[in-house]
Amino acid sequence: MSGPGEGKKLIGNAEVYIHEKGKSNARITHVDIELPELNDIIKPGEATYVEGKEGGVFIGLKREMIQRAESSLSRATLKKLQVSRAEKKIKNN
């Protein structure tokens, strides 16, 4: 697990569950990662791949998902800049 680093943006606090087969409509036992922000990148019904890594998992993204992720990061960065500028204006007044 490498933790925070350059080029890594935290997108939220996910709830992660082992979902057992036969319970709550699960047809197979699987891992649920519940974080609404992920739907900005991976749309419901889209498939991707996951690989285990030391300390967690790696979720590979397809080309369209990468574009949405990068676009989402751009919007988040813009929003942070706008908030930062607004806070500076308030402090200066």
Helix intervals (H) in the chain: 63-92
- What is the phi/psi pair of residue 5, to 5°? -175, 175
- Whether 85 has a pLDDT exceeding 60, the answer reads no
Integer angstrom CA distances of residue 6 from 1, 3, 41, 60: 14, 10, 20, 19
Separation between Cα atoms, residue 30 and residue 20, nearest integer Å: 7
> Is this model's pTM higher than 0.95 or not?
no
Query: What pLDDT is attached to residue 83?
Result: 59
Q: Quick check: 40 and 65 in contact, CB under 8 A?
A: no
Q: What is the mean pLDDT of residues 26-49?
A: 95
Query: What pLDDT is attached to residue 74?
Result: 78
* Per-chain mean pLDDT for the chain: 86
Query: What pLDDT is attached to residue 88?
Result: 58
